[in-house]
Structure 1
Amino acid sequence: MAACWPEPIVSVQALSQTGLSTVPNRYVKPAHQRPVYNSDAEMEIPVLDMSDVWEKPEGLRRVRSACEEWGFFQVVNHGVNHALMERVRGAWREFFELPLEEKRKYANSPETYEGYGSRLGVVKDAKLDWSDYFYLNYLPSSIRNPSKWPSQPPKIRELIEEYGEEVRNLCERLVKTLSKSLGLETNHLMKAFGGEDKVGASLRANFYPKCPQPHLTLGLSSHSDPGGITIVLPDENVAGLQVRRGDCWVTVKSVPNALIVNIGDQIQILSNGIYKSVEHQVIVNSGMDRVSLALFYNPRSNIPIGPVKELLTENQPALYKPIRFDEYRLLIRQKGPSGKNQVDSLLASR
């Protein structure tokens, strides 16, 4: 894989702060990829109370319904401290407000993506997204590189650690819940992931600057997440996340103190398509910046992931060819977000 970006990296936040009145051409999406504001006001992703879910048949049915029909849901009573959520979101906002030269000390490369960056994919002359981000490896703890973690603002490293551990606990609980909701043994999916002590996880803090022409660009292009499950701490003040629902894009309305959960491609593969990873994108705003934080909880990188045998029948054979997660992840790292192309490429019928 290329060790450097194909073009010089431009901070979108710095670009926005110049007060420009038009979006530079490299951020203008083709007409068919531009934001669509056709969300049905009555449509909202499901909200699940985790205290009503665990080991409760009706709660498991609601989980299954959310995963089959939406691939997204919000969780409340999730066990992550609300004040901690507010502090870690605030710390990342402070980081992005630091001088550019301070942030560039952590500049990333496409080799690992770890650090501060402004683009996904290494395709030359690609249309770029209107966002900056900071990406960190989190699990297993052996791959953490403290020198890559920001040292400013004060306490940000401790907050990342504390928040990461609480969300990790939620992920473990959710993977077991998904397993039960599929009619499998509680630990079946976790074993398929490689076991609690072998799973991978990474964090990405996203900064979506104000944009003079939000109808021409996207903060994050349409894609499904390549990993297992994703936990998003949204910006409660500015809506931005959109989920595909048929031919519509539904803008997610954040419930106070909720976290957003979405199914990744690896769960779609393991469930043999019973649960769907769903395309989503991020729209930007002309008047307000937006900050969100995503934790990606993934299978161990070096074991083949394929459909769970217990979910296969004569009428429903394996839909997907097994692939190691580290191989699979390279697809999005090289090409950037591209709808559902990654998981569709594994269809056994191809």
Structure 2
Amino acid sequence: MNTIISPQEWPEPIVRVQSLSQTCTDSIPERYIKPLSDRPSSEADHVVDANIPIIDLSGLYGDPDARASTLRQISEACNEWGFFQIVNHGVSHELMDMARETWRQFFRLPLEVKQKYANSPKTYEGYGSRLGVEKGAILDWSDYYYLHYLPFSLKDHNKWPAHPPSCREVCDEYGRELVKLCGRLMKVLSINLGLEEDFLQKSFGGEDIGACLRVNFYPKCPRPELTLGLSSHSDPGGMTLLLSDDQVPGLQVRKGHNWITVKPVPHAFIVNIGDQIQVVSNANYKSVEHRVVVNSNKERVSLAFFYNPKSNIPIGPAKELVKPDKPALYTAMTFDEYRLFIRLRGPCGKSHVEALKSP
């Protein structure tokens, strides 16, 4: 693949959506108004009253029947949905609440404090308000904070907020716990694919993987029917653990021609398959489009933790999953190459991973 150079600067001045939210009372700027077909009110899409599967992970550590049942539930959720919620996952509820509240406090800080952490498209690390560098693009109604957790060579506490004072310590502990949880889930996915339990972890680089956190802030919006907090996309990495705002639903998952509004369970993580696992599994598991709608009365905060392959090793279909009737569907690409490929374009449905398909 040709080398893609990540741009150094944003193509236009950055406007903080949180600031817009405080000044827009009955309208929003045109650059946030989505095309008719992409709006949450579009007649082309139907929002269905259902929910993604909810799975109790304690069964993995119970008797053989309970373990088999839990493995089967996860397998069905991966095959049918690409998304599921997990409870009894081993992460302290207190830590989850503390992490979400810490970031809520950050976004309530004065703008001049947050601006010290303003990001660039070169790495995206820091305080941001847009994804993709296409000039004149229609933007999403959200701000965010993106930071690296692994590998340690990329982890830089100076790029993490110093306020509120607990932020760095809480993020460190939260990251440690979620890395462990992702490792357990990777074993389950490997087993369900008929592979050795450490297969996916090894294909991602063993202990030398990547992990990062994006905290999404969705301010109130006076015209939520015209815009999206986050446009439809599939996650580019391996696996995502989302700590949602359980008071204000907003995440929608595509299932066929329908959108399902996820009803978050308190202290659950929402798990979804990313593009890299779709590639390694040779599309036995598929990443799924999802988007975020916004609210006219309430702001939302959610924490997306991305568990990714080591950035410089080629990721392609596992040879064990390539069969005469199902050849390798994808050309191998490093995660660094894939990530830059996406950064130039921003969120764009499932088109990115589909572009990897072998001729």
Same-fold status (TM-score > 0.5): yes
Cross-structure match for 2:40: 35
Are positions 1:276 and 2:281 aligned together? no
Are positions 1:174 and 2:185 aligned together? yes
Cross-structure match for 2:141: 130
Q: CA deviation at 1:314?
A: 0.7
- Structure 1 gaps of 5+ residues are none
| Percentage of matched positions with identical amino acids | 61
Per mean C-alpha deviation after superposition, the further-off stretch among 218-227 and 313-322 is 313-322
- Once residues 22 and 93 of structure 1 are traced to their aligned partners in structure 2, the CA distance between those partners, rounded to angstroms, is 25
TM-score, structure 1 normalization: 0.97
Are positions 1:324 and 2:334 aligned together? yes
Cross-structure match for 2:170: 159
Cross-structure match for 1:49: 56
Are positions 1:2 and 2:7 aligned together? yes
RMSD over aligned CA atoms reads 1.0
- Once residues 99 and 271 of structure 2 are traced to their aligned partners in structure 1, the CA distance between those partners, rounded to angstroms, is 18
Letter in 2 for 1:295: F
Are positions 1:192 and 2:203 aligned together? yes
- Once residues 58 and 318 of structure 2 are traced to their aligned partners in structure 1, the CA distance between those partners, rounded to angstroms, is 28
Correspondences of 1:97-108 after superposition (within 5 Å): 97-108=108-119
Correspondences of 1:226-265 after superposition (within 5 Å): 226-265=236-275
Letter in 1 for 2:54: V
- Once residues 6 and 189 of structure 1 are traced to their aligned partners in structure 2, the CA distance between those partners, rounded to angstroms, is 38
Are positions 1:14 and 2:19 aligned together? yes
- Once residues 73 and 140 of structure 2 are traced to their aligned partners in structure 1, the CA distance between those partners, rounded to angstroms, is 34
Secondary structure of 2:48's match? Answer: coil
Aligned residue pairs total 347
Letter in 2 for 1:324: T
Letter in 1 for 2:46: N
User: 1:92-146 CA deviation, whole Å, 9 max, x = no partner?
Assistant: 0000000000000000000000000100000000000000000001101221111
Correspondent of 1:289 among 299, 306, 320: 299
Cross-structure match for 2:85: 74
Q: CA deviation at 1:47?
A: 0.8
Q: CA deviation at 1:279?
A: 0.1
- Structure 2 gaps of 5+ residues are 1-5
Letter in 2 for 1:40: V
> 8 Å contact 2:46–2:257 — kept in the other structure?
no
Secondary structure of 1:15's match? Answer: helix
> 8 Å contact 2:231–2:292 — kept in the other structure?
yes
- Once residues 98 and 18 of structure 1 are traced to their aligned partners in structure 2, the CA distance between those partners, rounded to angstroms, is 17
- Once residues 227 and 27 of structure 2 are traced to their aligned partners in structure 1, the CA distance between those partners, rounded to angstroms, is 11
TM-score, structure 2 normalization: 0.95
Letter in 1 for 2:185: L
Q: CA deviation at 1:18?
A: 1.5
- Once residues 54 and 317 of structure 2 are traced to their aligned partners in structure 1, the CA distance between those partners, rounded to angstroms, is 28
Q: CA deviation at 1:2?
A: 1.3
Q: CA deviation at 1:20?
A: 2.9
User: 1:183-235 CA deviation, whole Å, 9 max, x = no partner?
Assistant: 11010110000102x10010011100000000000000000000000000000
Cross-structure match for 1:305: 315
Are positions 1:120 and 2:131 aligned together? yes
Secondary structure of 2:236's match? Answer: coil
